[in-house]
Structure 1
Amino acid sequence: MTVSLFLACLWVIVANVLAMLPSRDNHWTRAYVLMGLGLPLLGFVAWENGPWVALAMLVAGMSLLRWPLRYLLRWLRGKSRRQG
């Protein structure tokens, strides 16, 4: 197992543990930190293991951070409706 995959698996474990802990702001601060750490890690995974493994890690990250992704898609949809 490469270093990038080990770090990606560690990121997934940390994300799951953080999701189990109570939060006053509905986990948004933790989500921002996880996104900030996950994006460079995703590039590292792509660099060491190729694009298909990075795509699998991206899907795993999207499944963990699904609520920020839903809000982003709603925001983008609202922006496109206002312009069109």
Structure 2
Amino acid sequence: MTLSLATACLWAVIASLIALGPRRFHWPAAWGLIAAGVPILGWVTYENGPVWGLAVLAGGLSVLRWPVRRLFAAMHRRD
């Protein structure tokens, strides 16, 4: 396992631990996870190829489903 995949797995564990915490920390933590996850996603894609990049992207989207859902709802309302 490459260091980039290990970092992505660590990101997923941290995200799961944050989800177990109090609800008032979820949105600030989501922004932090997004800020940390984008470079990790790029690193995984660069080192391991687009298939692993898409797998990590799908995992990240499953963890951060509410911010993504609200983003799409806001984009849909603007149309």
Deviations 1:28-63 (A, max 9, x none): 000000000000000000000000100000000000
In the other structure, the counterpart of 2:69 is 70
Which of the two has greater helix per residue? 2
Identity of aligned residues (%): 46
Aligned pair count reads 79
5+ unaligned residues in a row in structure 2: which ranges?
none
Radius of gyration: which is bigger?
Answer: 1
Alignment partner, residue 35 of structure 1: 34
- 1:16-38: CA deviation from partner (whole Å, max 9, x where unpaired): 0010011325x100000000000
User: Which stretches in structure 1 are left out of the alignment for 5+ residues?
Assistant: none
- Structure 1 stretches of at least 4 aligned residues deviating more than 6 Å after TM superposition: none
Q: Which letter does structure 2 place at the counterpart of 1:79?
A: R
> What TM-score comes out, normalization by structure 1 length?
0.91
Q: TM-score, normalised by structure 2?
A: 0.97
CA deviation after TM superposition for structure 1 residue 79, in Å: 1.2
